[in-house]
Amino acid sequence: MYENKEIVNNKEANISNKLWPGRFSVAPMLDWTDRHCRYFHRLLSQQTLLYTEMVTTGAIIHGKGNYLAYSEEEHPVALQLGGSDPQALAHCAKIAQERGYDEINLNVGCPSDRVQNGRFGACLMGDAKLVADCVKAMQDVVSVPVTVKTRIGIDEQDSYEFLCDFIDTVMHHSGCNIFTIHARKAWLSGLSPKENREIPPLDYPRVYQLKKDFPQLTIAINGGIKSLEEAKLHLQHVDGVMVGREVYQNPAILAQVDHELFDASMPVVDTVAVVRALYPYIAQELSQGTYLGHITRHILGIFQGIPGARQWRRHLSENAHKPGADISVVEQALAMVTERM
């Protein structure tokens, strides 16, 4: 959990602050960063800030599932909320804090049609005052940080002045001082969510400039970052780096994060040992009716680039969904890697 509120409410530029969990974080990714994924990622890094998938206020208030389930081992863990009704967001934020989440994040970046129809996500960039009202409503009922993840612009509203006005309005009307900026604008129509992650050009310098112009804010950067070397370059300009698909597809990156970005005295994690450390969790989940494949789909990329990785992926993909599949499937797949080491 956040051990020191001064870290996240610091009024001075804190680019060198290695104590803030958001110095490196795994992005919220729909259908990917579920509780099984987050448990696995935590085994790889003790310091990284983990985000849930985006959860809508409607799902929490009216849904029948336990959308806020997580394991205590996941801390520090942040809940990303989707919504635009300040009262509903405040209600959900309060529940999330009671459940033990370390941060509440408002999604102002997702461009999908489904999200827009609910009037939340990236379309909210067009109404900065409403975003401020939403954040303020949540801050009034929780003591954990309330943060915003957004884009650098939407549609034709993509000037630097527009971005500054948005940030300034949200900051001054809500007191929010932590923003994660996806360094692309979003097209609200004409592009799929996948295309919106790839086609609009990245503009990292714009995010760097935002940090210079708002030094009192804590700014994390997101979008297209593929290595820790790139992360280190960004950290010369901003406070934090958020990585999404690259970490999911190549989770071994996380094994080096604590050593490289937080504390050089911390060891690089052994990925084989991490897989074995996952066994008790798998056994517990299987005993509760979870299918093996729901867990192993998140670990397919752990040995990317290592001899035996293809056999590892194939064995898990072909066998984890079979009736009665258990830890022996993972052990057999792991042997295909370890015997070649």
Q: Residue 289, annotated ligand binder?
A: no
Residue among 1, 5, 36, 115 nearest 282 (CA): 36
Q: Residue 22, annotated ligand binder?
A: no
Q: Name residues whose C-beta falls within 8 Å of residue 9's C-beta, 6 or more positions apart in sequence.
A: 145, 177
Q: Residue 42, annotated ligand binder?
A: no
Q: Residue 223, annotated ligand binder?
A: yes
Q: Residue 298, annotated ligand binder?
A: no
Query: For 198, which DSSP code?
Result: T
Residue 267 to residue 257: CA distance in whole angstroms: 10
Q: Residue 201, annotated ligand binder?
A: no
Consecutive H or E run containing 81: strand 77-82
Q: Residue 245, annotated ligand binder?
A: yes
Is there a cis peptide before residue 307, judged by omega within 30 degrees of 0?
no
Q: Write down the catalytic residue from 37, 110, 123, 176.
A: 110
Q: Diameter of the chain by CA atoms?
A: 59
Q: Packing angle between helix 309-319 and helix 327-338, nearest 10 degrees?
A: 160
Q: Residue 182, annotated ligand binder?
A: yes
Residue 124 to residue 108: CA distance in whole angstroms: 6
| Residue 40, SS3 per DSSP | helix
Q: What is the DSSP string of 307-341?
A: TTHHHHHHHHHHHTTSTT--HHHHHHHHHHHHTT-
φ/ψ of residue 207, rounded to 5: -70, -40
Q: What is the DSSP string of 259-304?
A: IIII-TTSPPPPHHHHHHHTHHHHHHHHHTT--HHHHHTTSTTTTT
Q: Name residues whose C-beta falls within 8 Å of residue 159's C-beta, 6 or more positions apart in sequence.
A: 153
Consecutive H or E run containing 151: strand 146-151
37 a catalytic residue: no
Q: Residue 293, annotated ligand binder?
A: no
Residue numbers annotated as active site? 110
Binding residues: 28-30, 80, 149, 182, 222-224, 244-245
Binding residues for FMN: 28-30, 80, 149, 182, 222-224, 244-245
